[in-house]
Chains A and B, each alone.
Chain A
Amino acid sequence: MAVPNIDHRWPEYRDSLIDSIMDAAENLEGRKYRDEFERRFAQLNSAKHAIACANGTVAIELILRGLEIGRGDEVILPPYTFIASISAIVFAGATPVFADIHPETYCITAKSVESVITSKTKAILAVQLGGRPCDMEELSKVAEKHGIYLISDAAQAVAGVYRGKGIGSYGIAASFSFQNSKNLTSGEGGAITTNCDKLNEKIRGMLSFKEGHIGIDDNLSEIQAAVLLGGLDLIPEQLKKRTKNAKYLAKLLEPIPYVSAMPLVEENDTHARHLFFIRIHEDKLGGITRDEFTAAMLKKGVPLVTGYFPLYDFPCLTNNYVTKSLGNTINCKPETPVCEYISRHEASWLSPTAMLCEKDAMEYIAKAACEVYEELSKSKGGAE
């Protein structure tokens, strides 16, 4: 089978977008495009407010600062996420604390969160990993019970829906990223959604250096807002395609014992489908490792990579500067066995644009998985 196109050209822009981009470029101090983007993004998330900002990292930092969470406070997050989730917490001055993830969805669980709550805990940062909504209902209950905030790192979950409502409407606030690989992009960019008027006002105060606020120059430019507005128009069609492909690929993987897709989300949830995870089951691979399997898939032209390293692996988390900034040392030996296992032996994901390819690409991916198993088994067997 010839390798079909599994490298969709990204981002998708309409050529006509240049006119609004030029208009924005000529009125950089204006807010026409930013205001319109914020209005539409709030609507997409069933949220009262959306605030455009420079990127998804500062979006988290701005939420924490807006809630006056900082030095001496603890914020719980999963160790299985992009490093920006933790750097934002550290930049805000708070101490990150790791809680384990679910073995089938890799999202943080309410139970693991509860096990690490202390009197210093101020918030949970729930990462909507790959675009899959976390169990926000259970997490909200824990947050409420302990009087702490639930914040959503929805960097990968643009257009995600949980229980019929936009993912950005859950918790006290949510952060989004519009970095180049994301499902909605302006090269760089970010947004915050919240239903809280006070927090909305506070964050806007910081971004505009309003008296009484610690000003932070993390605004989104007017040009980027024009780009994002163009992207928003394309989201429904793209999401439909991503979803259709993801369901099809999950079905194709079903009969293959050594790989699996994650379970489908519930009926009234929408997975934003930024990443498609392929779980590789080493116990069924007869000595072939996850790393060997993904490398062989890549060789066959399937854009499959091993996922994140656990955050607690990174030596920079305990360097002197971080420790001095926090007045605390981050615990990099957490009890997170699920993350420990899946990050080293199981998790892999397809490039974010793979789900925008055609049906034949999905078929090729599933077929490649079978071939890789056969080939690697043979070469291993031959060597023994």
Chain B
Amino acid sequence: MNCIRTKLENVLRDRWGTIGPLSVSTGEAIAKKLKANPALLLHSAGAALESTLRSLELSFGDEVICAAVSYPADSMTCAAVGCVPVFCDVDKDRKISVSSAESCVTDKTKAIISDSADEKSVETLRAFADKHNIKLVLNLKSIYEYTPACVDCYACVIAFPSSGVAVANEFEAYEGIFAYHNCGRPIINEATLVFDKILGGDMRISEWQAAIIADIVENDKEYCCGIEQKFMADSEAFSSDYFEKQTGRKLNYEKSDFPGACAVLWGDIPAFC
């Protein structure tokens, strides 16, 4: 077992700072551990989600269903790529209320993001996604929340300390996420700059960050990224002029639109609503 100090010393000695052997081997180790599809390490979980949404070519004019109580990155990343987060209510267990999600579907809906990976909710949401011909994306705050059911989603994002991982379940997803995270470079022959198909950004992970993930994965370490779910639907960001400029819309949700979310967060619809 290779302790964190040794790993970091190796990075210091090898001087391979980016997309190096550690990032690649750790991606493989995660895939093996989770019995999952290819896993790609990125500089943050938000970046993993962004490249996932971009791999679906989501932007202006598209809608993505997010839970009213969810990780801020879910809806913020939608906004960052130019699409509108459409908020649905949650059930008592904080999971997406499918009946509420149903009422959010329009012809612009392209995906749904869920923070839950338990078998039942993945199965239900996958059926919902299939019915509406949209994609299911999962966003988890720890690798220990991953379940075998996750292979049923388009891609699953996992937060790690100061970094993130995307587990892609469709080859197209892997190809797209890879290209968007690495300046449009294709997976095969990574060294060449092709830039033909995809205009990618930079969401690469450094080997320093990969060392942290490798240490967690190898040693089954507990960790906490400090990410908490929040009531996101009435965030001021979504009623700002800038959001309107980027997405063409202003959102004006109120807490009372989401009785389920209010019940789990405050026991009831708060008096101030």
Q: Identify the A interface with B (CB < 8 A).
A: 9-11, 13, 15, 17-18, 21-22, 25, 28-29, 54-58, 61, 65, 68, 70-72, 83-84, 86-88, 90-91, 93, 179-180, 185-189, 209, 211-219, 221-224, 227, 314-317, 319-322, 324-325, 327
Q: Which of B2-10, B28-36, B119-127, B265-273 contacts A (4 or more CB under 8 A)?
A: B2-10
Which B residues between 162 and 212 are near A, CB-CB below 8 angstroms?
Answer: 162-164, 183-184, 193, 195-209, 211-212
Contact B199 A322 (CB under 8 A): yes
Name which of B46, B60, B208 has the most chain A CB atoms within 10 A of its CB.
B208
Q: Could you list 4 further interchain pairs (A-B, Cβ under 8 angstroms) beyond the known A29-B161, A212-B235?
A: A90-B199, A187-B20, A189-B206, A218-B43
Contact A214 B243 (CB under 8 A): yes
Contact A212 B236 (CB under 8 A): yes
Interface SS majority for chain A: loop
- Given the known interface contacts A54-B44, A55-B43, A188-B206, the answer about A28 and B15 at a Cβ–Cβ threshold of 8 Å is no
Q: Which residue of A lies closest to B164 (CB)?
A: A217
CB-CB < 8 A to B9: which residues of A?
Answer: 18
Contact B203 A83 (CB under 8 A): no
Interface presence of B59 (CB below 8 A):
yes
Cα distance A61–B30 in the bound complex, in angstroms:
30
Q: Which residue of A lies closest to B215 (CB)?
A: A25
Contact A68 B245 (CB under 8 A): yes
Cα distance A156–B201 in the bound complex, in angstroms:
17
| 29 CB < 8 A contacts A-B | A21-B8, A21-B208, A22-B5, A57-B202, A83-B199, A84-B183, A84-B201, A87-B200, A179-B18, A180-B17, A186-B208, A187-B17, A187-B207, A189-B206, A214-B79, A214-B240, A214-B242, A215-B73, A216-B77, A216-B80, A217-B46, A217-B73, A221-B206, A314-B195, A315-B197, A316-B195, A321-B54, A324-B61, A325-B82
**What is the distance, in angstroms, from B231's C-beta to the closest C-beta of chain A?**
11
Name which of A10, A88, A211 has the most chain B CB atoms within 10 A of its CB.
A211
Q: How large is the interface on B (under 10, 10 to 19, 20 to 34, 35 or more residues)?
A: 35 or more
CB-CB < 8 A to A221: which residues of B?
Answer: 162-163, 206, 208-209, 212
Closest 5 CB pairs of A and B: A187-B17, A217-B46, A187-B206, A221-B162, A57-B202
CB-CB < 8 A to A21: which residues of B?
Answer: 8, 12, 208
CB-CB < 8 A to A223: which residues of B?
Answer: 8, 162, 208-209, 211-212
CB-CB < 8 A to A224: which residues of B?
Answer: 206, 208-209
Contact B237 A57 (CB under 8 A): no
Q: Which residue of A lies closest to B183 (CB)?
A: A83
CB-CB < 8 A to B16: which residues of A?
Answer: 180
Interface presence of B72 (CB below 8 A):
yes
CB-CB < 8 A to A217: which residues of B?
Answer: 44-47, 73, 164
